[in-house]
Structure 1
Amino acid sequence: MTAPTTDTTQLCFHCGIECPDDHIHIDEKYFCCNGCKTVYQILEENNLCQYYDLEKMGGNSPQIGQFAFLDNPVIANDLLDFQNDSISKVTFYIPSIHCSSCLYLLENLYRLHPAIERSQVDFLKKQVSVTFQHKDITFRQVAELLTSLGYEPMMSLSDVVKEKQKPTYRKLLTQLGVAGFCAGNIMLFSFPEYLGLQDATYKNLFGYLNIVLAIPVVFYSASGYFESVYKSLRKGIINIDFPILLSILVAFFRGIYEVVYNNGAGYFDSLTGLVFFLLIGKWFQQKTYNFLSFERDYKSYFPLAVTRLMFGKEEAVSISDLKKGDKILVRNGELIPADSMLYNGKAQIDYSFVTGESALEEKQLGDFLYAGGRQVGGTIEMEVLKEVSQSYLTQLWNNDTFQKEQDSRIKTFSNAVGKYFTFGVLTLAFSVALYWYLQDPSKMLNAFTAVLIIACPCTLSLSYPFALGNGLRLLGKQYFYLKNGEVIEQMANCDTIVFDKTGTLTTAEGSKPQFYGSRKLSSFEEQMIASLVRNSSHPIAQKIKHLVSKNDYLTIDNFREIEGKGIEGEIDGLPLKLGSSKFLGLSEELVSQQNAEASVAHVSINNHYMGYFSMPNFYREGIENTIAELNKKYQTFLLSGDNEAERHNLEKYFSRKENLYFNCSPQDKLTFIKKLQNEGNKVIMIGDGLNDAGALKQADVGIAVTDDTLNFTPMSDAILRAEQLSKLPKYLNYSDFGLRLIKFSYIFSLMYNCIGLTFAIQGTLSPVVAAILMPVNSITLVGIASLGMIWGGRKLK
């Protein structure tokens, strides 16, 4: 294909606009700029030039002014997910995403323009999140770039892409309607053939009418199969749609031959019926996928809480209960749950959760704070400007930055089976066709087509997403929120569980900390301590705050929280510290005098040691039975940062005394997890995410236990509401059940294929019956996966 030309100008081969000169060219193709040339080269290098798809003119040139509204900063701010001085992030809804080639191209946008830092595709939702440097490329230019690639974003002035776009089935339903209309009429025109009527005039007329009606079915209703196969062949891959397309084309051209040369009715009733039922199956799958996605985004519970300020009082509420205009308080390390405006406090925001880059940004009063940022420093107060988007938070959680390098064995098996199954089906179909050509040519086409349809390997890939999708939904309703479906498989493969103690096995509820010192704290000293601990979400700090809480908090400067050690800050230049004995530099003699049966937090004011708070350890309700149940199936370990005072109590819970470790630093916990994995164990780490983020990330499955806090680590794979910890054995058994169900459905699918092939090979199974059985098989597998997980989920309550 060469570039279109006129007498005086060259048109850009990629985008179709007029080239300013003819200096930029490659392969005898002219380009208006180096950007278009680069796009072409990337497409060419990766066998993706099917993008041009034999059009008369390459590319799609956006209509002038089509995205001009994106230049308006007010509108842009409503649509952007995030923006700082240099970086912007936006999520586009792109209906034309439909195959792996689309995914490859859209995730390589950074190669098309140097100002695009990264792009991530959510294939099922047909969304792409783009992070770009807005000083070098504007929001509008990003949208125009996508449009020029053939991926026009669906947006209007009323869109806010953070919220889930409503799926559109218009094209699929139109294709389904065309196929149904034509199939019904072809069957009517085929009645003379069915009834054995011999009127040659009407027989020929109806035959040609059948050809006319079959054309839109093949080239419009079945166009998705042409696109899918064409793209995969250009990449040197034979995908699972190839056997189906081959059967459609063979039936179509054989039907034309029968009508034109043999005066027969052809096979158009079977052909159009085949396409009609295939599209019904595709529509059913899409509807089910979108149902699961909706349930995941809106009816599962992201089990995080936020502190809302009401009439000067603090109250913990679920983030789903936040409304526009609410005043909220965010402490050190906590997540900003929704787009908000800062009105009190010194904000230092870490947006690595959003951008993947760790760099603190200082914000001033009145500044806009984006959802997904994490406060580092003292407490800040803000007003919510937009309601929480749970789907957006889940998307951030699944950012590539926080992914673990783990492969799904079931998914890998499914992909491998699908790959080799296609070649096997093609070989078998041609062998059967050859056999019947020699034995009974009248059965050849039926047998060939039926084999291609009945043995479709796509049914193998249905069980995994539908089973795990329902698992995500049902576990989410039980306040056990998983990052993605593969976490269920990873949990089922684990054989070892490691617990943190403080905040995980123990709870601050019911604990009444007592202060022990050389003298009683003054009212002002209590106020200073309350002001310091208010900035931390650690359960011990929060319990101390409740003991000495005052309505008037003092301003804390230079607040710091050192993981596993303690917190410090200044009030009017006076230094305050609260934490472990090592953090305060206390002598062993002084520490030995404290109550060894409780968790303690030492206090110093203006570098003078004041004493310590002692809190009895209250274990969560049912924890003894929970660990006893887990001991039956798993190795269980305890890693605690506290001293060994509680060893004798904990030894009653754990099956092996030597599996209890105390005085562990965050690094010690991470190293211990690595050691277990090096020994061949698959490890679940359960902690509060405060002092064990590294261990949660290192573990095969990291579960963060939350208790009225937004101190959530994205390194975890799951979030569990603390009061649901006693149900952990049920959740793990459910993951085992899900994996067994997937394997059962695979066996069922393979048995279906074997039985169906037995009849297809014999030539006794018509293509229409095979086409009906295909969606029936799909619906059956979806039913097994979905209803099976729902039935198994009864035990979760």
Structure 2
Amino acid sequence: VPVVKKSGDKLFAGGKQTAGAIEMDVITTMEQSYLTQLWSNTVFNENQEKNIKNITDSISKYFTSVILGIALIAGIYWYFINPAIAFNIVTAVLIIACPCALALSAPFAFGNMLRIFGYRKFYLKNAETMEHMAKIDTIIFDKTGTITSNDISKISYEGTPLSSFELQLVKKIIRASKHPLSRSLYDFIEQPCLLDNLDSFDEILGSGIQAKYKENTIKLGSASFIGTNQINVNETVIYVYLNNKLKGKFVFSNSYRKDTKKVFEELSKKYKLIILSGDNEGEKQVLTKMLPKETKFMFNQKPENKLNYIKNLQQKGAHVLMFGDGLNDAGALAQSNVGIAVSENINVFSPSCDGILDANLFNKIPKFLTLASKTVSIIKISFIFSLLYNIVGMYFALTGQLTPVVAAILMPTSSISIVIFVTVLTNWISKKN
């Protein structure tokens, strides 16, 4: 149920404005704890199949049962052979086979790599997100604001010239929008905005904006939202509809992020790639020439269409990673196995995403995915070393050659060595990549 607020009331992070325009003063700093609570809100996890079996859990479940079984059999065997050492052998088996090394390798490996990612301006929600990344086989990209940059020099206006007042009105309306095209257009319009507050404001995600200012009504957005038949599939545009009259359109010639072609070529070797965009097919020819031929294109997709498309892929067994602009793709990002918001402004993000990538590092996506996969491989290697240690230790314990005291000394040594191993190796692969 919406809560009515009046001028002077306090507003807290996490709320959503349902209608109208608003101006706020930030009076306190946002602490990390609030951000964490927002990301952890259960509302973003409803009806989602994001839970995966943790690497450690999948092994430890069998490890404990097997060790207890071996200790029981050894105790019974030595009770009849030499009862005097039976208790010591059982104790040595239980100590030397302590699964501490198994339990520590994953947290230390993922934790160290999360720190490295953060240092490189790629912020993941938790270690499970990195484990998901290692299982990805399909990558979906939004177009506007994700693979394109907000370059104001690539915008032009076509139609009836807009007056100073009309330009101010356009700028006033798009000021409250967080869509990448709106932000680019706001920076493009040089006319200072001196208008009073809007009487009404409503943004329909994936379609456009409508507002009222005194006796003026205005719509900005797609052709279908404006209600015009002047659709040009060869352009990315924002139509201007003022007082029941189509005035013109702002035409966007997209500027793609650095090394976009190279990024897609590298990713296509291992992943299925899809462009899932709410824009028209204006840039399809450019994208077809620039991106690998295996790339699939889906245009004119509303937010709910994106979400359902990803859900259908998952029902067919796909593990989906999506890169979007954050707010307009919130539902699709939440539905994906991993949802990453690509942001040019770190203060604009979606709490439904699993991570935030600085837009300037878009060309590093293949390396980040490689590091995630190699981190999981390091954990598996550490498990093998740990199991080999346990097998050798168990042999000496079962044959009575290892006392409980010596086993107690060796047990923490193995744990420390595993922690050092995964830490050094994750640091090494990060420097190499």
TM-score w.r.t. structure 1 length?
0.52
- The alpha-carbon distance between structure 1 residues 772 and 685, as it changes in their structure 2 partners (threshold 3 A), is same
Equivalent-residue separation in structure 1 for 2:168 and 2:426 (angstroms): 53
Find 2:391's aligned residue among 754, 758, 768: 754
Q: Give distance in 2, aligned partners of 1:410 and 1:478.
A: 26
Query: How far apart, CA to CA, are the structure 2 residues paired with 1:720 and 1:426?
Result: 45
Distance 1:791 1:378 in 2: 52
When residues 416 and 621 of structure 1 are mapped into structure 2, their CA distance, relative to the original with a 3 A threshold, is closer
Rg comparison, structure with higher value = 1
Q: Is the 8 A contact 2:236 2:283 kept in 1?
A: no
Q: 3-state DSSP class of the match of 1:462?
A: helix
Q: Which string of whole-angstrom CA distances, capped at 9 and with x for unpartnered residues, describes residues 681-724 of structure 1?
A: 21111111333222222222111111216442222222111111
Q: What is the alpha-carbon distance in structure 1 between the residues aligned to residue 295 and residue 377 of structure 2?
A: 33
Structure-2 change in CA distance of 1:512 and 1:377 (3 Å): farther
Matches within 5 A, 1:600-615: 600-615=237-252
1:665 maps to 302
Give the secondary-structure state (helix, strand or coil) at the position aligned to 1:396.
helix
Q: Give yes or no for contact 2:346–2:358 (8 Å, CA) kept in 1.
A: no
Match of 1:503 among 145, 153, 166: 145
Matched ranges for 1:53-202 at <5 A: none
Q: Report how far residue 388 of structure 1 moved.
A: 2.1
1:772 to 406, 409, 417: 409
CA distance in 2, matches of 1:759, 1:696: 52
* Structure 1 residues 146-167: Cα deviation after superposition (integer angstroms, max 9, x where no partner): xxxxxxxxxxxxxxxxxxxxxx
Residue number in structure 2 paired with 1:517:
159
CA deviation string 1:307-347 (max 9, x = no partner): xxxxxxxxxxxxxxxxxxxxxxxxxxxxxxxxxxxxxxxxx
**Distance in 2 of aligned mates of 1:374 and 1:478:** 31
Instruction: Deviation per CA, 1:350-370: give whole Å up to 9, x if none.
Output: xxxxxxxxx433322222222
Q: Does 1:654 align with 2:291?
A: yes
CA distance in 2, matches of 1:423, 1:637: 44
**Cα distance in 2, alignment partners of residues 642 and 423 from structure 1:** 55
CA contact (8 A) 1:685 1:703 kept: yes
Query: What is the SS of the residue equivalent to 2:317?
Result: coil
- The alignment status of 1:418 with 2:66, answered yes or no, reads no
Quote the Cα distance in structure 1 between the aligned partners of 2:50 and 2:348: 25
| Kept after mapping to 2: 8 A contact 1:601/1:613 | yes
Q: Which amino acid aligns with 2:355?
A: A
Q: Does 1:535 align with 2:176?
A: yes
**Deviation of the 1:400 alpha carbon:** 2.2
Deviation at 1:795, TM superposition (A): 4.2
* Contact kept? 2:273, 2:295, Cα under 8 Å: no
Output one character per residue of 1:371-414: Cα deviation in whole Å (capped at 9) or x when no partner: 33344445544343332212331232022222232332344xx3
| AA aligned opposite 2:231 | V
Q: C-alpha distance in 2, partners of 1:542/1:614?
A: 14
Cα separation, 1, equivalents of 2:295 and 2:117 = 33
CA distance in 1, matches of 2:360, 2:53: 32
User: 1:667/1:776 Cα in 2 relative to 1: closer, same or farther (>3 Å)?
Assistant: same
Q: Is the aligned partner of 1:738 residue 2:375?
A: yes
Other-structure match for 1:480: 122
Q: State which drifts further: 402-411 or 715-724.
A: 402-411
The answer on 1:396 being equivalent to 2:38 is yes
Pair 1:586–1:379, CA change in 2 (3 A): same
* SS class of match (1:651): helix
| Aligned residue among 451, 456, 459 for 2:101 | 459
- More moved, 759-768 vs 783-792: 783-792
State the alpha-carbon separation in 1 of the partners of residues 79 and 198 from structure 2.
88
Q: Is the aligned partner of 1:433 residue 2:70?
A: no
Counterpart-to-counterpart distance in 1, 2:200 and 2:352: 27
Q: Which amino acid aligns with 1:591?
A: I
CA distance in 2, matches of 1:784, 1:372: 41
Change (3 A) 1:785 1:391: farther
By relative contact order (CA 8 Å, sep 6+), the higher-ranking structure is 2
The Cα shift of 1:511 comes to 3.0
1:405 matched to 2:42: no
Structure 1: distance between partners of 2:418 and 2:191 = 57
Determine whether 1:715 maps to 2:359: no
* Alpha-carbon distance between aligned partners in 2 of 1:618 and 1:740, rounded to the nearest angstrom: 37
Which whole-Å deviations, capped at 9, do the CAs of 1:105-153 have from their partners, x for residues lacking one? xxxxxxxxxxxxxxxxxxxxxxxxxxxxxxxxxxxxxxxxxxxxxxxxx
RMSD (Å) for aligned C-alpha atoms? 2.2
- Whether the 8 Å CA contact 1:631–1:654 is kept in 2: the answer is no
1:784 aligns to 2:426 (yes or no): no
Q: 1:469·1:485 contact (CA, 8 Å) conserved in 2?
A: yes
Specify whether residues 785 and 549 from structure 1 end up closer, same or farther in structure 2 by C-alpha distance, changes over 3 A only.
farther
Of 545, 566, 586, 2:186 maps to: 545
For the residue of structure 2 that corresponds to 1:494, the secondary structure is coil
CA distance in 2, matches of 1:658, 1:761: 58
Give 1:480 deviation, angstroms.
1.4
Partner of 1:704 in structure 2? 341
Is 2:126 aligned against 1:489?
Answer: no
The one-letter amino acid of 2:338's match is V
8 Å contact kept, 1:480–1:718: yes
SS in 2 for 1:421: helix
Change (3 A) 1:416 1:638: closer
| SS of equivalent residue, structure 1 residue 575 | strand
Q: Report how far residue 611 of structure 1 moved.
A: 0.8
Query: Any conservation in 1 of the 2:203–2:210 contact (CA below 8 Å)?
Result: yes
Matched with 1:564 is 206
- Residue of structure 2 aligned with 1:629, choices 257, 266, 277: 266
Deviation at 1:501, TM superposition (A): 0.7
Q: Secondary structure at the match of 2:388?
A: helix
CA distance in 2 between partners of 1:620 and 1:542 (Å): 17
With over 3 angstroms needed to count, the CA separation of the structure-2 counterparts of 1:416 and 1:643, relative to structure 1, is closer
The superposition leaves residues 740-791 of structure 1 with CA deviations (integer Å, 9 ceiling, x where unpaired) of 1111111111111111111111222122221111111111222222222222
Task: Report if aligned partners of 1:502, 1:640 keep a CA contact under 8 Å in 2.
Answer: yes
Shift of 1:679: 2.7
Query: Within 1, Cα distance between the matches of 2:310 and 2:202?
Result: 28
Q: What residue ranges of structure 2 are gaps of 5+ in the alignment? A: none
Which amino acid letter does the alignment assign opposite residue 38 of structure 2? L
Superposed CA deviations along residues 562-611 of structure 1, whole A, max 9, x for unmatched, are 01110111111321111111111112xx334xxx6542101122222211
Read off the aligned partner of 1:783 and give its amino acid letter: I
Alignment partner of 2:166: what SS? Answer: helix
Structure 1 residues without counterparts, runs of 5 or longer: 1-358
Measure the CA separation in 2 of the matches of 1:640 and 1:556: 30
Could you list the per-position Cα deviations for residues 278-314 of structure 1 after superposition, in whole angstroms to 9, with x for gaps in the alignment? xxxxxxxxxxxxxxxxxxxxxxxxxxxxxxxxxxxxx
Query: In the alignment, is the contact (CA less than 8 A) between 2:97 and 2:390 conserved in 1?
Result: yes
Change (3 A) 1:641 1:775: same
Letter in 2 for 1:707: E
Q: Does residue 363 in structure 1 map to residue 30 in structure 2?
A: no
Compute the displacement of 1:422 (Å).
Answer: 2.8
Verify the 8 A CA contact 1:511 1:615 in the aligned structure 2.
Answer: no
Aligned partners of 1:576, 1:507: CA distance in 2, in Å? 27
**How far apart, in 1, do the equivalents of 2:357 and 2:17 lie?**
22
| Separation in 1, partners of 2:420, 2:19 | 50
CA contact (8 A) 1:537 1:709 kept: no
Percent identical across equivalent pairs?
A: 44
The answer for the alignment partner of 1:449 in structure 2 is: 91
Q: Which amino acid aligns with 1:388?
A: M
